[in-house]
Amino acid sequence: MSPWLIGDLILLGAALPAALWICARGDAVDRLVGLEMGGVVTSLALLAFSEGVGEPGYLIVPLLTAVLSCIGTLVFTRLLAPRP
């Protein structure tokens, strides 16, 4: 087992449940922070997995996850904005 896969397990075992906990509790701003944290952790976990497996073709998945996470946050922020 490579160090990349061990780091991936640590990310998925410790950081992702923390992000889910933040998403489930608190007000809307706290949930937004949890959403951002979940996107970052997911992107890093997928990046570590692709490096651990040694397949460079898998690097497109973390890239798309990072981009879609940012877009999702913008949509969520738009829904949080007060209506005139």
16-72 tens-digit pLDDT: 999 999 989 988 888 889 989 999 999 999 999 999 999 888 999 999 999 999 898
Instruction: Tell me the Cα Rg of the chain.
Output: 15
Q: Which residue has the tokens 């973390």?
A: 62
Q: What is the pLDDT at residue 83? A: 76
pTM: 0.84
pLDDT score of 31: 87
By the 8 A CB rule, do 28 and 6 touch?
no
End-to-end Cα, the chain, rounded Å: 55
Burial of 54 (0-12, 13-18, 19+ CB in 10 A): exposed
Give the pLDDT mean for 7-12: 91
